[in-house]
């Protein structure tokens, strides 16, 4: 019975962005996310005062899911970043920082939100259409016939997550593993639309990262005793598999809404057990070699099957059911009665394996689109971070398969894009404004705010007091170490740009990113040979970055548009 | 014990409340409006420009505020639009009324009231004004709409007869609608999405039933996906169920589908029965039988070429297994709304639930073009290629957005747009009486309003009310002088009756109640009459009794009609007609479906102009005052819309231009593109006037500081 209680009135605040409290909380959030950004980002340790485990991370997904945000405006910001991350895995911090910057930059301008939103939207569509166009100077095609660019992509993701605590060698090893795991999920003979398989990540903590490995098929963890009991199968042909999704424990199934009256002396348990043994006989006569059950198998049935040299494994769990169905080609059996012969599947072979202290039962498939990635790391927190990173990398590879382009990473895309926008708004403001009611001055102001928001995102890549420069030809990013002696000769100080595409041997002129400089035309249309020659590029996922950019601008627009906040205090 | 506190209910208090609400609402009104962020107690955040949602989110405590919010939400339930305008208009009306009280010379003051205290005096005065408001709403408004305003109306349809709608005019209409509903950066996109959806779903034969279907099932017809930019929203042909397949078996070509509402597998016992097990063998045989039965049913389905099984309940493992074996895809746990939507799409005829599968009689199969999994942001859905009937081609909207709150806002806006279109596609009846009393040489307009949607109020009902009074008129002719005075008293009396009835809002009255009420009023009236007007009574007594009978009959026959049309308005007109010693004509006209006006306060300025004209001609002081107040308050709406504009587009300029055009009979030129529904505006106006009447009739607000136990007790009694 619910109690009828009077509702408390809500709290209504006008013009939320102008209040000091909101500004401070926004800047706190911004400080948190910017300090995490990039390969040299600082780690955050999140722990609950009431106990629970401590999380060390610099990833947006882990960070934001642990942070407890109470202010509604921040909640909008963090949930939109989290939603972005859950659909694209990558570019979460980029989205968060850009969004904060955009909000912060337009605050002092004194323009109406209508104008700001309208112009932001124009600038966003300018960016999107440029990044999607053929002439775009900051994206490269991904060649699936060689592993080079794919490896670069994976490596960039791994290096940007310092909380994984990987050495250079380990990074190389894990990148190769991830790429292999991804390639194993692609079916060999695909016609029409391909359905990707799955990489299952198997935890193996307290081991060296170098011990990580990829195996085709599925690993089922078991205790050593259980494993010893399983009899070795000597068979040259493929093994016949039966996969049960219903319980084989001898429970009496649902009897309906009415009552069932059992006469004295009638044992339903025996009746059901008889049924189970009949099932066992059928399985044996069908020459099944391996019985897998999602739930529990009755010990008598298990023993019966073992006696007939059939391996029976129960308590598989629901998570493994789908990959098992896919891999073995079985139909999960839900009946205790007759089993249609089409329901059986097969595996090539089974074996036992020991990794570290854990024992596994390994099912080796005929045709592999399912693989297991055994992931090792030294401790729990580092392992969690590595696992998240691997999932991100696998997801990014999938996205890249759909849209085979990659953006130049290391901040070069952002500086290039900012240079492009500056140039566009100076040269051709009418085409952007079209029939809008905004003036050119307003456009210049907003464009400057937008570009500096993009540039301060890459500015936060530098955490050690170094300087960030940009060249006046490509609009790429170059960073100088903090203790560099003088600013006389940039060419000797700088070696490579952020993404690694260009080196300083060319005749370039540089300027500080934060200084005001004249708008210039960044070189569009990447020369093909430039991409081919570079072996160690830093790359970003195009799909994720595009979406991140859109989400950041949309969210910023949304927040700038708020005129009231009504907080329900119930 | 009851501890209570009383506060004078006054216009001043109401105005203060309304002004606060106006301040909040006016920030998100019109094309320049901004967003409001609401947090729910669960911690979710919601973005909204929807006035109704905002007002509800405030959880107001002030009694008058709560009453206003109630009025707004009941208005919204009907029309789906106009919450913000409601508040602004109401606030301006209250301001106008407040200004009158400040004036020393009040035309509505009555001598005898001066003996009472100041507050009670005010209350009585408000009561008179509220009576005048009711008179205005029920008798004058429709006439002005029909006689003056209607000449300015445009039709949304490209051909009036066929009721066809072309895309450009729909865009104009919806642009104006979405301007006030969604954020500026997504406004154009949502508009296009809505238009695409509209034209994809409609066929040439589609009519209002499509709007009804979409309005009723909008929740099932859209899918929200968070984490993607808004621009990824799209329209998908077919129906998307927010479930995953329990079993999916790929099938090509057209496939048969069947819907079941219970488990296919026979059970041991159904509710209320008993199953007695005497031996283990019996148990095994029955289990075997169940298994074989299930198998046979699924085999039969396969032989019928059924490839898809939709179930509203969870099916046992056995069924799922045999479905998979037989190549039948299964979707379980459909909600009842989803099931009824699918049924309405595939087969408009009523559905006969399948009987027990004993004879494997499965008759309710339907053809589906395809059925496949749909992956939206790594979540799996079931995508059905339903073949629609001739009126509705099923399509789904996939709404994307960075946060759930934004998606909800867009969903709300799209749903509201369909509600608005549903209203627009209905005719609106304007029924009123004009009467001219030639003897006096003055012409005054008495209008009887019997408004309501045409299909809800059958004409026969109205006819039967009117007919009996025609003859009595002749008898009264000679007593014109008396009639006039009688009228004065009588009209007051009648209006108080109206108030009595409006005190019971939104409850479905039973017919007995209604007739009782009517008779009570009649007898009351008769008593009063006996005192002063004996000759008149003689004439009327017979008429009264017959009318009483008539009323009873009518209320039995047209219960629904009387429920919806203002109950109170039936009586006054019959009395009035009776006693008018003049020639009269009964006018019934209707505003055809699809009437629109250009946006930007055109409706308000037009009505303002004609009301002022009317007020000048009017002789009765109350009517003049009320018309003036309403006319001036109407201008508050365009004033709020043009608040941020300057120069040529500022409100004074627009207003002067419009008035000039009207005086010289030139067409009005609107500075903004876009159209808005006249029906919606008209309904808004009447709703606000009703709300204001309610506010004015309150003289005391009593605060009861106790938990609302009465409701609580009643609930528990009901449970028992």
Q: Which residues contact B466 (CB under 8 A, 6 or more apart)?
A: B577, B586
CATH class of B239-267+282-393: alpha beta
Residue A513: the pLDDT is: 80
Unique residue bearing structure tokens 């867009």: B410
A376 shares its domain with A514? no
A539 shares its domain with A414? yes
A355 shares its domain with A489? no
Decide if A106 contacts A113 (C-beta within 8 A).
Answer: no
Q: Which residues contact B450 (CB under 8 A, 6 or more apart)?
A: B429, B431, B432, B457, B462, B565, B569, B570, B573
CATH number assigned to the domain with residue range B6-104+124-154+594-702, chosen from the 4 options 1.20.1440.230, 3.40.50.10800, 1.10.560.10, 3.90.330.10:
1.10.560.10
Of A343, A366, A389, the residue at which a domain comes to its end is A366
Domain boundaries, chain B: 6-104+124-154+594-702, 239-267+282-393
Chain B, residues 415-454, CB within 8 A of chain A, namely none
CATH code of residue A153 = 3.30.260.10
Q: What is the pLDDT of residues A332-377, one digit of tens each?
A: 998 888 888 888 999 998 888 888 888 999 999 988 789 999 999 9
Check CB contact of A296 with chain B, cutoff 8 Å. no
pLDDT along chain B (720 residues), means of 10: 50 86 84 84 83 86 88 86 89 87 50 48 72 81 82 77 77 87 86 91 74 88 90 91 89 84 79 81 86 88 87 88 91 90 72 46 73 86 83 89 90 89 80 48 35 35 36 38 38 36 34 37 38 36 36 33 32 35 58 82 87 82 81 87 78 86 79 81 89 84 70 46
A392: which DSSP letter?
H
A424 shares its domain with A562? yes
A388 shares its domain with A464? no
Residue A59: the pLDDT is: 92
Structural domains of chain A, count? 3
The SS3 call for residue B644 is coil
- Considering the domain boundaries, does residue A65 fall inside one? yes
Residue B204: the pLDDT is: 67
Gap between the Cα atoms of B671 and A265, Å rounded: 91
A18 shares its domain with A61? yes
Residue B206: the pLDDT is: 63
Cross-strand pairs, B588 = B431
A418 shares its domain with A462? yes
A474 shares its domain with A451? yes
For A58-191, list the strands marked E by DSSP. Answer: 139-141
* Distances, alpha carbon A250 to alpha carbons A269, A275, A483, in Å: 7, 9, 74
Check CB contact of A72 with chain B, cutoff 8 Å. yes
Residue of B nearest to A272 (CA): B284
- Considering the domain boundaries, does residue A6 fall inside one? no
Q: Which of A259, A282, A564 to mutate to test the interface with B (most CBs of B within 10 A)?
A: A564
Q: Which of A72, A128, A402, A438 to mutate to test the interface with B (most CBs of B within 10 A)?
A: A72
Residues in chain A, pLDDT under 50: 1-2
Gap between the Cα atoms of B349 and B639, Å rounded: 51
Residue B162: the pLDDT is: 66
Backbone torsion region of residue A277, taken as left when φ is above 0, otherwise alpha when ψ lies between -120 and 50, otherwise beta? alpha
- Considering the domain boundaries, does residue A4 fall inside one? no
Q: Which of B22, B23, B33, B37 to mutate to test the interface with A (most CBs of A within 10 A)?
A: B37
Residue of B nearest to A274 (CA): B284
A524 shares its domain with A544? yes
In chain B, what is the straight-line distance between the N-terminal and C-terminal CA atoms, in Å? Answer: 27
- Considering the domain boundaries, does residue A1 fall inside one? no
Gap between the Cα atoms of B572 and B448, Å rounded: 9
Decide if B183 contacts A557 (C-beta within 8 A).
Answer: yes
Domain that holds residue A279: 217-254+263-366
Residue of B nearest to A69 (CA): B43
Q: Which of B179, B188, B227 to mutate to test the interface with A (most CBs of A within 10 A)?
A: B227
Q: Give the tokens for residue A271.
A: 């009746």
8 Å CB contact of B403 and A555: yes
Chain B, residues 24-83, CB within 8 A of chain A, namely 24, 27-28, 32, 34-41, 43, 45, 47, 54, 57-61
Dihedrals phi, psi of B302, to nearest 5 degrees:
-65, -40
- Considering the domain boundaries, does residue A307 fall inside one? yes
8 Å CB contact of A266 and B267: no
Cβ atoms within 10 Å, residue A394: 23
Residue B60: the pLDDT is: 85
CB pairs under 8 A between A and B: 240
A411 shares its domain with A542? yes
In chain A, what is the straight-line distance between the N-terminal and C-terminal CA atoms, in Å? Answer: 19
Cβ atoms within 10 Å, residue B112: 7
Chain A, residues 309-338, CB within 8 A of chain B, namely 331-338
A303 shares its domain with A380? no
User: Mind giving me the DSSP string for A157-218?
Assistant: HHHT-GGG---HHHHHHHHHHHHHHHHHTS-SS--SS----EEEEEEEESS-GGG-EEEESE
Gap between the Cα atoms of A74 and A17, Å rounded: 11
A312 shares its domain with A419? no
CATH code of residue A290 = 3.50.7.10
Decide if B465 contacts B574 (C-beta within 8 A).
Answer: yes
In terms of Cα–Cα distance, which of B125, B135, B127 is closest to B102? B125
Decide if A419 contacts A519 (C-beta within 8 A).
Answer: yes
Chain B, residues 241-270, CB within 8 A of chain A, namely 267-270
8 Å CB contact of A76 and B291: no
Chain A, residues 251-280, CB within 8 A of chain B, namely 253-263, 266-268, 270-271, 274-275
């Amino acid at each position: 019975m619910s109690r009828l209680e009077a509702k408390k009135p809500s709290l209504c605040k006008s013009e939320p962005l102008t209040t000091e409290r909101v500004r401070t909380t926004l800047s706190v959030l911004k400080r948190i996310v910017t300090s995490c950004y990039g390969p040299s980002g600082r780690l955050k340790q999140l722990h609950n005062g009431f106990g629970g485990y401590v999380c060390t991370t610099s990833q947006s997904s882990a960070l934001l899911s642990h942070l407890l945000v109470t202010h509604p405006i921040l909640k909008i910001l963090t949930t939109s970043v989290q939603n972005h991350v859950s659909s694209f895995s990558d570019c979460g911090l980029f989205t968060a920082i850009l969004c904060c910057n955009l909000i912060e930059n337009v605050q002092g301008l004194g323009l109406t939100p209508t104008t700001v939103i309208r112009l932001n939207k124009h600038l966003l569509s300018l960016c999107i259409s440029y990044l999607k166009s053929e002439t775009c100077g900051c994206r490269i095609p991904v060649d699936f016939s060689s592993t080079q660019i794919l490896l670069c992509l994976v490596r960039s993701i791994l290096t940007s997550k310092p909380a994984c605590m990987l050495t250079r060698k380990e990074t190389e090893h894990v990148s190769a593993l991830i790429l292999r795991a991804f390639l194993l999920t692609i079916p060999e003979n695909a016609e029409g639309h391909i359905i990707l398989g799955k990489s299952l990540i198997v935890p193996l903590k307290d081991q060296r990262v170098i011990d990580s490995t990829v195996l085709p098929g599925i690993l089922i963890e078991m205790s050593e005793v259980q494993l010893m009991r399983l009899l070795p199968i000597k068979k040259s042909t493929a093994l016949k598999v039966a996969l049960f999704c219903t319980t084989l424990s001898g429970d009496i199934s649902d009897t309906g809404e009415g009552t069932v009256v059992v006469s004295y002396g009638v044992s339903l348990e025996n009746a059901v057990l008889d049924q189970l043994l009949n099932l066992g006989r059928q399985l044996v006569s069908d020459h099944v070699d391996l019985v897998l059950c999602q739930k529990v198998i009755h010990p008598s049935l298990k023993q019966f099957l073992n006696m007939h040299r059939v391996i029976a494994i129960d308590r598989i769990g629901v998570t493994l059911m789908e990959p098992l169905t896919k891999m073995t080609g079985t139909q999960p059996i839900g009946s205790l009665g007759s089993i249609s012969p089409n329901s059986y599947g097969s595996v090539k072979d089974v074996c036992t394996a020991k990794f570290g202290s854990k024992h596994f039962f390994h099912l080796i498939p005929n045709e592999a689109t399912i693989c297991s990635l055994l992931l090792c790391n030294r401790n729990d927190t580092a392992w969690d971070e590595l696992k998240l990173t691997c999932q991100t990398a696998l997801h990014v590879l999938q996205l890249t398969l759909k849209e085979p382009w990659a953006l130049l990473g290391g901040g070069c895309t952002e500086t290039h894009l900012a240079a492009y926008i500056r140039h566009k708004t100076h040269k051709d403001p009418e085409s952007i404004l079209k029939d809008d009611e905004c003036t050119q001055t307003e456009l210049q102001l907003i464009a400057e705010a937008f570009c500096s928001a993009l540039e301060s995102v890459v500015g936060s890549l530098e955490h050690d007091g170094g300087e960030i420069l940009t060249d006046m030809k490509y609009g790429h990013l170059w960073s100088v170490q903090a203790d560099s002696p003088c600013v006389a000769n940039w060419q000797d100080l700088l070696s490579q740009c952020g993404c690694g595409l260009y080196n300083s041997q060319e005749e370039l002129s540089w300027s500080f990113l934060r200084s005001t400089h004249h708008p210039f035309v960044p070189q569009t249309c990447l020369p093909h040979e430039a991409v081919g020659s570079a072996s160690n590029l830093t790359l970003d996922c195009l799909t994720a970055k595009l979406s991140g950019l859109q989400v950041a601008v949309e969210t910023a627009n949304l927040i700038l548009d708020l005129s009231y906040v009504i907080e329900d205090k119930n | 014990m009851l501890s209570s506190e009383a506060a004078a209910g006054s216009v001043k208090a109401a105005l203060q409340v309304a002004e606060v609400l106006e301040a909040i609402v006016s920030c998100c009104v019109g094309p320049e409006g901004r967003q409001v962020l609401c947090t729910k107690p669960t911690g979710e955040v919601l973005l909204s420009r929807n006035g109704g949602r905002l007002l509800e989110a405030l959880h107001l405590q002030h009694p008058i505020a709560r009453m206003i919010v109630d009025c707004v939400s009941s208005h919204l339930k009907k029309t789906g639009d106009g919450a913000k305008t409601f508040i602004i208009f109401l606030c301006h009306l209250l301001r106008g009324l407040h200004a009158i009280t400040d004036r020393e010379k009040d035309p509505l003051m009555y001598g005898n009231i001066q003996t009472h205290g100041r507050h009670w005096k005010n209350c009585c005065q408000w009561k008179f004004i509220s009576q005048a408001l009711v008179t205005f709403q029920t008798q004058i408004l429709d006439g002005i709409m029909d006689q003056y305003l209607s000449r300015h109306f445009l039709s949304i349809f490209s051909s009036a007869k066929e009721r066809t709608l072309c895309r450009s005019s729909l865009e104009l209409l919806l642009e104006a609608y979405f301007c006030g509903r969604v954020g500026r950066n997504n406004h154009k996109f949502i508009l296009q999405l809505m238009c695409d959806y509209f034209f994809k779903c409609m066929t040439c034969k589609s009519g209002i039933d499509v709007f009804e279907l979409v309005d009723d099932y909008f929740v099932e017809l859209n899918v929200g996906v968070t984490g993607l930019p808004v621009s990824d929203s799209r329209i998908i042909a077919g129906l998307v169920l927010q479930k995953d397949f329990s079993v999916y078996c790929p099938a090509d070509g057209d496939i048969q589908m069947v819907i079941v509402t219970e488990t296919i597998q026979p059970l041991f016992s159904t509710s209320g029965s008993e199953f007695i097990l005497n031996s283990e063998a019996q148990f095994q045989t029955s289990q075997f039988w169940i298994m074989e039965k299930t198998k046979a049913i699924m085999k039969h389905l396969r032989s019928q070429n059924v490839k898809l099984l939709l179930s509203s309940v969870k099916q046992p493992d056995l069924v799922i297994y045999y479905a998979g074996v037989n190549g039948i895809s299964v979707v379980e746990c459909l909600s009842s709304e989803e099931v009824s939507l699918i049924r309405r799409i595939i087969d408009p005829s009523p559905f006969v639930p399948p009987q027990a599968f004993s004879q494997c009689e499965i008759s309710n199969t339907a053809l589906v073009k395809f059925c496949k999994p749909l992956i939206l942001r790594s979540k799996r859905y079931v995508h059905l290629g339903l073949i629609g009937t001739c009126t509705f081609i099923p399509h789904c909207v996939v709404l994307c957005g960075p946060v759930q709150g934004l998606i909800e806002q867009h969903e709300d806006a799209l749903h509201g747009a369909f509600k608005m279109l549903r209203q627009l596609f209905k005719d609106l009846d304007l029924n009123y009486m004009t009467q001219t009393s030639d003897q006096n040489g003055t012409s005054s307009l008495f209008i009887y309003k019997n408004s309501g949607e045409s299909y809800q109020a059958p004409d026969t009902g109205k006819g039967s009310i009117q007919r009996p009074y025609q003859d009595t008129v002749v008898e009264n002719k000679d007593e014109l002088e008396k009639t006039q005075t009688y009228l004065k008293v009588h009209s007051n009396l009648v209006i108080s009756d109206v108030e009595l009835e409006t005190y019971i809002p939104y409850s479905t009255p039973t017919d007995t109640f209604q007739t009782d009420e009517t008779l009570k009023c009649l007898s009351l009236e008769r008593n009063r009459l006996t005192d002063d007007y004996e000759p008149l009574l003689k004439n009327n007594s017979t008429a009264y009794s017959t009318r009483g009978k008539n009323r009873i009959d009518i209320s039995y026959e047209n219960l629904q009609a009387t429920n919806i049309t203002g109950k109170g308005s039936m009586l006054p007109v019959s009395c009035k007609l009776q006693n008018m010693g003049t020639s009269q004509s009964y006018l019934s006209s209707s505003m055809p479906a699809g009437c629109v006006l250009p946006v930007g306060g055109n409706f308000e300025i037009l009505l303002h102009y004609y009301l002022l004209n009317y007020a000048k001609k009017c002789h009765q002081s109350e009517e003049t005052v009320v018309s003036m107040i309403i006319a001036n308050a109407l201008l508050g709406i365009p004033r709020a819309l043009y608040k941020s504009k300057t120069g040529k587009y500022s409100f004074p300029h627009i207003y002067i231009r419009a008035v000039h055009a009207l005086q010289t009979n030139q067409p009005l030129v609107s500075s903004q593109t876009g159209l808005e529904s006249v029906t919606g505006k008209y309904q808004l106006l009447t709703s606000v006037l009703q709300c204001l009447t309610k506010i004015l009739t309150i003289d005391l607000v009593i605060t009861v500081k106790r938990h609302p136990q009465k409701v609580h007790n009643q609930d528990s009694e009901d449970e028992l």
